[in-house]
Structure 1
Amino acid sequence: MSFGPPPSIYTQSAVTAEAVRTGRRRKALLWSLTVVLVAALGTGGWFLWGAGSGRSKSPTDTPAAQGRLDVRESVEEPPASTVGTMAFRLSVDDMTPGESYEMPGMWATDKILAKGINKTLVGFRLGTDASPGDEKWKLALDGPICGYTRHVTNENRTAVLYRASTDEEAFCNHVAFFDLDDGRKIWSHDVPVAAIGTTTGTPRNGGVQDPPSVTLTHDTVAVTWGRGTVAYDMDHGTKRWSTSNTGACHDGGAAGGGALLVREECWSDDESLAVDSWERITYKVREVDPATGRTLWTYSAAKGVRQVAVPSTDPVVLAVSTGDTGFTELLSLDADGKNRATISLRNGTYVGECSYSTDYVVIDDCPTIAVGDGQVFVRSKDVIEKTTSNWIIGFDLATGDSTQKFESGANTLLIPVRTSGDRLLALRESQDHLSPTALVGLDPETGEETPYFYFELPAEAENFTSIDFNDVVVQNGRLFFGVRSATGPAADQPKWIYLVLGIESRTTKKQ
């Protein structure tokens, strides 16, 4: 594989470059010849899955009330055609066994698919069959990416954290705000570093850094670094405010979007407990005014809570775990941080997943917990009897009562993706590979399901719908799957590896 330090991310010999170009031509030819039969929902008819040249109305990009410095909340409209076709592909065919690369962060605009790859951010034009070397832009950083946010502004800008160098012991102590359309670094700053636990100061003698996080809210890039939080304005990177504490509570993650919430981890100094025991940590969540850093309210989680994530900041929904694995409850909070409703996930009957990694702190990336229109939606666990099925269920945030239920039907699974206006977007994933997979819109008011487009994933990418290992993004009428890390295949396996795959309706407007 030709990217990632060391060596330099895009250094290739002329021979290697020509081999890559030849491989791309081969794959493009295969692409143009591939035709997949896809069943239409409820009709029994069949459609060809292939390239189309038609045009339709483009998705509504942003609600009218949003400004350029707000976090993007796009509304996806059903396309004119439900025939799915390839919108983008990024693949490699030269990774060796044992070769491995981290690929944190994936973002999309109407023109670009951007990805983090080790110490480099890259942007590819949509509508291409790409390999390393085909980038429209690339932005090299001083060290590997160590933090990211899923949020993007209406100007198509976002932020990442990165290490000071490629040294294995280098601190994660830099933030960069950059443009997704052209790869420009708008600004960057050093951020403070703290030791984890009750130790004060920076890590010493091989000590562990308190992992930082980054997020976006209106005109604000916020970074938690353990002993505090620092915020910058988006246009110039000017420091707006910073907070710090010297007590037992650390700022252990920020959630953005419509508001700014900071999760605090409070460490006990009880020496009878193991240093890494969850029993030493209790949690608080506070809402912060993004303009001033002033705390608006603080919510203290009950003792015994082992994990807290933030699926939504506006309205506030927390996902908490009081068991050994997985989230056990969702908490709906009001504008003052008071508990409105507690929604039990019934000992795993309902499943809510949030991104979890020891390398990246992203507390507001909860891909299967969708919040909108006064409700939260989660999926049930898979039911495996004669066939495989599940359902998605909504809960009222004011009362905690269940609302609409969407059944997957036999041999399919429904997976929430995100809300879009007054609809819930979901994947209808085929389990028998006879019926197609689809992106659908679910209406919480009527229970109606509207197909956006049908598609089939190539055999090499069938595991892309697993959110444990992949990012899923719906933006501007397109659905993208992207790996979070890439590992070279075993010697007896095919060398062709997908990194990102994009699907769109054949009538999606080309930019």
Structure 2
Amino acid sequence: MTQPPQQPPQPPNGPPSGGFGASKESPAGGYGTPAPPPNTPPAGSPPPNTPPVPPQMPPQAPQTPPAGGPPAGPPQAGSSQGPVYGYPQAQPPQPGYGYPQQQPGAPGYGFPQQQPQQQPQQQPQQQPGAPAYQYPTQPMQPQPGSTGGGAGGGKFGIDAKIITAAVIAIVLIVAAGFVYSAGKGDKETNVSTAGPIGRDDNNGGDTAGTGGKEKVPANTNSKVLFQLPAPKVSDVTGVDGSWTTDKLYVKSGVDAVYGYDAVSGRQVWKLPLPGPLCAATSHVSKDDKTAIAFQPKVPTKAKQFWGCSEVAALDLDSGKLLWQKSYKDGDDKVSVDEVTLGGDTVATGSTHGGAAWGLEKGELRWAPKVSTDQCEDAGYGGGATTLVAVRKCGDYDSPQISVQNLNPKTGAPLSSFKMPAGVEYAHIVSTDPLVVAADVGDTAGDGSGISDYFSVDAKTGKLRARIPAQADKYGGKCGSTEVEQCTNLVVGDDRLYVPTEQHDGTGDAIGQTNEIVAFDLGTGKAVPGRADAGAGYTSYPVRMDGSNVIAYKTGPYNKGGQVVSVNGSTLKQTLLMNNPSDEAVRGAESTFLPDSAEIRYVDGRLYLADDTLSEYTSSDSEKHYLAIGFGTS
């Protein structure tokens, strides 16, 4: 939530020759990346015997739908889709990525470190043909010397023939039933891609897992609800802001905010602004109010930026501004960098210090103040009832950063935690519980802004745990200077959920994949288990749903994305949405990159939106969208 970036966003990498949408290859020899088995196709190539895919657009430009846009809905289930992804392969599974190693003192990727002076139960050593971590077991194969057939085997006995015939009959019955179910297209079994399925094989209408409000639909196959064309712009333009209510999807445009019917996409209201919107918070009050910031005038060639000076509270139901405020440093209005909502307080951060107003009436609660020790609030992290400040003291070149839990009404600090030396910028991942991310000593090296997470007791200001975030292992990203601009990270139930970096799939899996892992915020240790994205899919945490995690998965080259609910305790998954695999819809969906896209999922509907527009999105040769909505029936 900052001023418009100085460089236009780069288009996603083009697909491999196998087709559009395949995940980007990780560098060869990366940490934890198993070498592919002999005769294995390269990551990202289509499966064997797959008909050739028509040539795609040149690399470096994402494929998008034709001028007519995506079809009104996806093809009926069974018309072109194969078996439901996630069923076990016929080959004996290999040890999954991140499976604990057997060497003493070398814990597996994503698994907890060994506690001192403890003797944890040892993982059983993998035997040839044994199932990998949490994968379904395979049918037993005839052993040498048994009555089973095979090369060099003995003759079939009567019992063996009866058993074989029975097995074949069962397989045919099950296969026929699956084909019939897929052909009808009115119901889909909820398949977990990591271990057992949810509470019920056909739990349409049930709550995913045990702690969430999102329901598993009767048919998880989605259709396109609507598409919002991208406005034409001549330069890089920020369009921060996506919100949902019970009835509306609200999205910011260039110099206006629009309210759309959540299902049909019909425009319900439009709020014109005097200048481009330049900052917004994702936090929403219980009565559907939020905060935004915008420029006071429309930029011109002579004056391309008027400052992000106007702060306002927005009623998402009516599309009306409750109030509009600004504040000055001397004779000039202050240009804010971010805006957030903590309890009933709208708070802004800037290079001149922080200011805050009441949400309902806009009364000033505090203004920037520079103390005698050169301390000022750089920005704030919000929450339903909490507000946390990142306070910067000292010289610009060697600042001392602290994180303060505030009284949202007065701004008085309730506790303070001093960040370690070498931290120039602190990022608030969560205010309740309090989790801070930082790049200590610029050691992350991957542009993520995260080398460590700090779990802090908000009441006392004491450190609970420090969690290293190795750049070659874990994903997640925070804005370089922003206080509250972290993506693909979720906190809930005193756990931190992060994605791992992409890596090659194991065994015969084609394409790259990743997992979601969790850390205990009390101990800092990794929690056993993981949520595997599946071959060709990459999974990103979006938000908490009770004690569950809602995650969005980008699909492989020939499939749409998915939404799953991950049980916060067991990390088992339940499928909530499976997006269309049509080429046009896939191409449009793949333009929304999870690191920068605004991803919202609520009540069986998924909204993907851009936060930045450019000349690239205004290209006349390809269709680009500001936002796309998907829904299940």
Establish whether residue 150 from structure 1 lines up as the match of residue 270 from structure 2: no
Q: Find the counterpart in structure 1 of residue 227 from structure 2.
A: 89
Cα distance, 1:407 vs structure 2: 2.0
Count of aligned residue pairs for this structure pair? 435
Task: Give the one of 346, 364, 367 matched to 2:487.
Answer: 367
Establish whether residue 382 from structure 1 lines up as the match of residue 506 from structure 2: no
Q: For residues 112-127 of structure 1, what are the structure 2 equivalents within 5 Å?
A: 112-127=248-263
Cα distance, 1:157 vs structure 2: 1.3
Q: For residues 12-31 of structure 1, what are the structure 2 equivalents within 5 Å?
A: 27=68, 30-31=71-72
Cα distance, 1:243 vs structure 2: 5.3
Q: Find the counterpart in structure 1 of residue 39 from structure 2.
A: none
Corresponding letter in the other structure for 2:537: T
* Rounded Cα–Cα distance in structure 2 between residues aligned with 1:256 and 1:504: 29
* Rounded Cα–Cα distance in structure 2 between residues aligned with 1:142 and 1:217: 26
Q: Find the counterpart in structure 1 of residue 143 from structure 2.
A: none
Change (3 A) 1:40 1:155: farther
Q: Is the 8 A contact 2:307 2:335 kept in 1?
A: no
Task: Give the one of 428, 442, 453 matched to 1:310.
Answer: 428
* Rounded Cα–Cα distance in structure 1 between residues aligned with 2:591 and 2:490: 19
Q: Which moved more, 1:336-345 or 1:491-500?
A: 491-500
Deviations 1:23-82 (A, max 9, x none): xxx948942585574553446767589999xxx86999xx9xxxxxxxxxx943333331
Change (3 A) 1:267 1:203: farther
Where does structure 2 lack aligned partners over 5 or more consecutive residues? 1-66, 88-177, 188-203
* Rounded Cα–Cα distance in structure 2 between residues aligned with 1:295 and 1:29: 51
Cα distance, 1:219 vs structure 2: 1.8
Establish whether residue 233 from structure 1 lines up as the match of residue 367 from structure 2: no
* Rounded Cα–Cα distance in structure 2 between residues aligned with 1:365 and 1:175: 18
Q: Is the 8 A contact 1:51 1:85 kept in 2?
A: no
Q: Is the 8 A contact 2:293 2:312 kept in 1?
A: yes
Larger-Rg structure = 2
Task: Give the one of 166, 171, 186 matched to 2:298.
Answer: 166
* Rounded Cα–Cα distance in structure 2 between residues aligned with 1:491 and 1:149: 26
Task: Give the one of 255, 273, 289 matched to 2:381.
Answer: 255
Q: Find the counterpart in structure 1 of residue 142 from structure 2.
A: none
Q: Find the counterpart in structure 2 of residue 177 from structure 1.
A: 313
Deviations 1:112-140 (A, max 9, x none): 221222221111222335xxxx6321112
Deviations 1:468-493 (A, max 9, x none): 33111122332111011223459986
Q: Which moved more, 1:238-247 or 1:468-477?
A: 238-247
Deviations 1:415-470 (A, max 9, x none): 11111101011123322425x52100111323321111111361432434522331
Establish whether residue 460 from structure 1 lines up as the match of residue 587 from structure 2: yes
Change (3 A) 1:490 1:139: closer
Change (3 A) 1:224 1:32: closer
Aligned-CA RMSD value: 3.3
Establish whether residue 442 from structure 1 lines up as the match of residue 528 from structure 2: no
Q: Which moved more, 1:439-448 or 1:232-241?
A: 232-241
Change (3 A) 1:231 1:306: closer
Deviations 1:73-123 (A, max 9, x none): x9433333312122332125x848x56543111112222221222221111
Change (3 A) 1:28 1:413: closer
Change (3 A) 1:342 1:48: farther
**3-state SS in 1 of match to 2:570:** coil
* Rounded Cα–Cα distance in structure 1 between residues aligned with 2:269 and 2:275: 18
Change (3 A) 1:412 1:486: same
Q: Is the 8 A contact 2:337 2:350 kept in 1?
A: yes
Q: Is the 8 A contact 2:542 2:550 kept in 1?
A: yes
Corresponding letter in the other structure for 2:72: W
Structure number with the higher strand fraction is: 1
Corresponding letter in the other structure for 1:136: V
* Rounded Cα–Cα distance in structure 2 between residues aligned with 1:267 and 1:493: 50
Deviations 1:283-323 (A, max 9, x none): 22111101222111122211212432111000000011122
Q: Find the counterpart in structure 1 of residue 451 from structure 2.
A: 328
Deviations 1:377-431 (A, max 9, x none): 1011100366311111100000011113222232222211111101011123322
Q: For residues 465-480 of structure 1, what are the structure 2 equivalents within 5 Å?
A: 465-480=592-607
**3-state SS in 1 of match to 2:535:** coil
Q: Is the 8 A contact 1:123 1:183 kept in 2?
A: yes
Establish whether residue 40 from structure 1 lines up as the match of residue 84 from structure 2: yes
Q: Find the counterpart in structure 1 of residue 173 from structure 2.
A: none
Cα distance, 1:141 vs structure 2: 1.9
In the superposition, the TM-score normalised over structure 2's length comes to 0.62
